[in-house]
Chain A
Amino acid sequence: AQSVTQPDIHITVSEGASLELRCNYSYGATPYLFWYVQSPGQGLQLLLKYFSGDTLVQGIKGFEAEFKRSQSSFNLRKPSVHWSDAAEYFCAGDYGGATNKLIFGTGTLLAVQP
């Protein structure tokens, strides 16, 4: 079955440190891939997306993600984390077909230490 997996439930980093959040998609057809961020009690904001082409994708707020077909991964990175980056991050994939249904990972909750 098509799936998106985020192996890390919680991650804590120090402010100013680098960040990498992991995302793996199920093997097979490559989905369109998305990273969203959610602050507590809020909706989801799109950070970046990958449809095709350049495998390193730049997004908003200084985030980037790299698509690696060989590893079925689409990891999110930021070189220097700010306290305002504390939130929950969701990876999602759209495998196409008739529904345009997004398949979401279970999310990674990021805490930032001062």
Chain B
Amino acid sequence: DGGITQSPKYLFRKEGQNVTLSCEQNLNHDAMYWYRQDPGQGLRLIYYSQIVNDFQKGDIAEGYSVSREKKESFPLTVTSAQKNPTAFYLCASSITIHQETQYFGPGTRLLVL
């Protein structure tokens, strides 16, 4: 079955630590996205990538970094510069970047120790 996987399901970050969230898709989609979800705020776009080796900042990119070395993979690193990282992180993908349906992974909950 095709789909999007995210790991781990829960992640704990210590002060000053960088952590990386994994997102993999086998849908053969060109475009991938990272969203952050906070209670009562809906979802906000962190970064997106329309094709391999390309990515762009979204609305709240500060304190985050990404890479897109393979079509299937779009890992998100939460750096120590992100002062309020506790949130639910969702990865999504779509066939292309242009007004296509986005499909979501199961999410990763990041907590700060």
Contact = CB atoms under 8 A, between A and B. Distances in A.
Interface stretch (B11-19, B65-73, B76-84, B105-113): B105-113
Interface residues of B, number: 30
Given A41-B109, A45-B104, A101-B48, A107 B97 contact: no
A90 B99 contact: no
Given A32-B99, A41-B107, A94-B99, A100 B94 contact: yes
Contacts of B48: 99-101
A84 interface: no
A100 B98 contact: yes
Interface in B9-29: none
A59 to B, nearest CB: 12
Most buried by A among B40, B41, B42: B42
Given A90-B42, A99-B56, A102-B43, A43 B97 contact: no
Most buried by B among A36, A98, A99: A99
Nearest to B42: A104
A46 interface: yes
Nearest to B41: A106
A32 B98 CA distance: 11
B107 A36 contact: no
Contacts of B31: 100
B63 interface: no
Contacts of A106: 40-42
Interface string A21-56: 000000000001010100001111110010100000
B43 A43 contact: no
B42 A43 contact: no
A36 B104 CA distance: 10
A16 interface: no
Contacts of A46: 101, 103
A96 interface: yes
B97 A100 contact: yes
11 contacts: A9-B40, A36-B104, A42-B107, A44-B92, A49-B101, A100-B48, A100-B94, A100-B96, A101-B58, A102-B45, A104-B44
